[in-house]
């Protein structure tokens, strides 16, 4: 066997080991994980008020979605963007759109709300 034939195998093993050990091979999701599960605007989360959810400010125009009130009748939320306050509220089953982030209130149980966030086009 020639040395040239062994190199690709060695490189593949090296890359596999680096990936297994987490050495420098990170997926985009892995780097966003340090910012929280909703940073990219795609998540399902159960919250009670008050709660701050970190999102990508470059993508949505604000860095934190604040859940300010949860009751069986409504969930209220707000965000501040460049000195402008965005806010909305909806009953369970409804949605609120703040800039290009849509928040769906899937359900409310007691003082906890199940939310689903997803980005929209501008």
The pLDDT score that the predictor gives to residue 33 is 52
Same-domain pairing of 86 and 115: yes
Provide the number of structural domains found in the chain: 2
Same-domain pairing of 40 and 83: yes
Residue whose pair of structure tokens reads 């400010």 in the numeric block: 57
DSSP 26-90: --HHHHHHTT-TTTTS-EEEEE-SSEEEE--HHHHS-SEEEEEEE-SS-EEEEEEETTEEEEEEE
pLDDT along the chain (122 residues), means of 10: 46 38 39 78 96 96 97 96 93 97 97 97 73
- Tell me the Cα Rg of the chain: 21
Same-domain pairing of 100 and 77: yes
Q: What is the pLDDT of residues 15-41, one digit of tens each?
A: 333 333 443 333 344 444 578 999 999
Q: Which domain holds residue 4?
A: 1-33
Same-domain pairing of 55 and 41: yes
The pLDDT score that the predictor gives to residue 81 is 84
The pLDDT score that the predictor gives to residue 82 is 84
Same-domain pairing of 70 and 56: yes
Same-domain pairing of 95 and 78: yes
């Amino acid at each position: 066997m020639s040395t040239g034939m062994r190199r690709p195998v060695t490189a593949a093993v090296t890359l596999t080991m680096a990936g297994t050990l987490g050495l420098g091979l990170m997926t985009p999701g892995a780097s966003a994980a340090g910012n929280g599960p909703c940073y990219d605007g795609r998540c399902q989360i159960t919250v009670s008020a008050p709660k701050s959810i970190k999102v990508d400010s470059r993508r949505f125009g604000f860095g934190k979605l604040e859940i300010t009130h949860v009751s069986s009748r409504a969930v209220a939320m707000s965000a501040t963007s460049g000195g402008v306050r965005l806010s909305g509220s909806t009953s369970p089953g409804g949605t609120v759109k703040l800039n290009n982030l849509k928040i769906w209130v899937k359900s409310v149980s007691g003082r906890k709300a199940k939310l689903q966030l997803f980005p929209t086009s501008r």
